[in-house]
Amino acid sequence: MASSDRSRPAHAGRALFDGYAPLEDTWDEFYAREGSDGIRRAARPVADHLNALSRADFRRLKRLADETFLRSGITFTLYDKKGSTERIFPFDLIPRVIDEREWKQVEKGIVQRIRALNCFLADVYGDQRILEEGVVPRFLVEGSKAFRPELMGVRPPKDVWVHIAGIDLIRDGEGRFVVLEDNLRVPSGVSYVLENRETMKKTYPEVFHDSRVAAVESYPHKLREAMNAVAPGEGGRKRMVVLTPGPYNSAYFEHSYLARRIGCALVQGSDLFVDNDRVYARTTNGPTPIDAIYRRVDDEFLDPKVFRSDSLMGVEGLIGAWAAGNVAIVNAVGNGVADDKGIYPFVPDMIRFYLDEDILLPQVETRVCARDDDCRQVLDRLDEYVVKSVNEAGGYGMLMGPSASKRELKEFRKRIEADPRNFIAQPRIELSSCPTWTSKGVEPRRVDLRPFAITGDDTWVLPGGLTRVALRKGSYVVNSSQGGGSKDTWVVGTGR
């Protein structure tokens, strides 16, 4: 593939993209098959700038960026059979670039989806109209491990259930953005978006000016604003905290980072107590009432009085205080039933049912093994599907049928037959790829995208989001727990 090197000095040596070859039958985020020199319009300023660097220059910038991440303690915890290991989150210095005109359409689709999912949660814990009319099968909802029957009749402040959403997107072979998964419980990763951006601004300050990159720095402000909007009470600044399971949690870096950026205390369950359906924080100045809690603790551990009685991470009486309308819990408890992978295939039906609108963002065709016909088709063509466990995340409990061994196929067949409700299957999508720095130079690696949306009085979508990249050659799995890394995502203006 020819590279663009108009601004590169003649003595600079081999340019960064020289020899880069996009994958066959895959949408490349930088290079189109057609056009004057193959570079997509939105990516041109970035490609020109990078090609003005020698590979030695790029390696030097990469070392500086890695040192920045190390000094800042930007880590995540990796769990395996031997225990846990804290790692620096791998970061690639070549950004992923999206045209702002395309992004506007994605943004509308995300907002629409969140509106429908919020309606679904209110309905499922309320009148259950969508179940009564058979639009979503009742057995799937009531059979979900994330469904909390204890919460029937509860209404969160201002009827907002989904305050923070991470909607996972991929591009298909035609370059269309397609929804792969909804994350409505405690979606992680936004701290890496903000830290990635800080590092990129220090590394390529002039490109930000030339490319008109949309800012992401207002995320903490938007989150605080949303928490303030849904917290009980009229007017003024409310008192809020971030509730963490503690420093041994894999996302503890993010919990502490967000608490600092929002400007509120980071607390654990033992720092809070409930009296007369009111939540208080223990402080050196005595008990302080709390109006909003950004919880990063899973549902079952939030309140030992209602869920797991052995939980030491929660606050006894918290659900009662929430049900009484005296505190906002962000995200609302019970949201997991809406992002259950077995419920995902019905989101387009929810959009039509609640909003009477056509779906703006397509999603991946999905077979639900809990349905007999679907299950038979999956078992008959297991080597063609990507099979996912409904109750696992992070790339665990997944079968990549087209590349699986006979032993893996046999094992998964047994697991599906034993518990079909716990599995869905999707065709393997040729995820788009993006130029990525490797030990052999720049090569294509597959990526996905997790945009984040915040809802208070209205819904705001962070421009871009976390691009996750499968760093292993040939891999389709982008999760950090499976060896994936991240890239900064640039939504850029091209209209001038």
Q: Which SS3 state, helix, strand or coil, does residue 390 take?
A: coil
pTM for the predicted model, two decimal places: 0.91
HSE-up of residue 375 (Cα within 13 Å, Cβ side): 17
- Cis (ω within 30 of 0) for the bond into 118? no
pLDDT tens track, the chain, 496 positions: 544 444 444 445 577 888 899 998 899 999 986 544 688 989 988 898 888 888 888 899 988 888 887 777 776 666 665 666 666 778 999 999 999 999 999 999 999 999 999 999 999 999 999 999 999 999 999 999 999 999 999 999 999 999 999 999 999 989 999 999 999 999 999 999 999 999 999 888 888 877 789 999 999 999 999 999 999 987 777 999 999 999 988 889 899 999 999 999 999 999 999 999 999 999 999 999 999 999 999 999 999 999 999 998 999 999 999 999 999 999 999 999 999 999 999 999 999 999 999 999 999 999 999 999 999 999 999 999 999 998 776 667 789 999 999 999 999 999 999 999 999 999 999 899 999 999 888 999 999 999 999 999 999 999 999 999 998 898 888 877 667 899 999 999 876 5
Strands (E) in 38-194, as ranges, are 75-80, 83-88, 91-99, 164-171, 177-183
Return the number of other C-beta atoms located less than 10 Å from residue 442's C-beta. Answer: 24
Angle ∠(74,78,82) on CA atoms, nearest 5: 145
- Cis (ω within 30 of 0) for the bond into 276? no
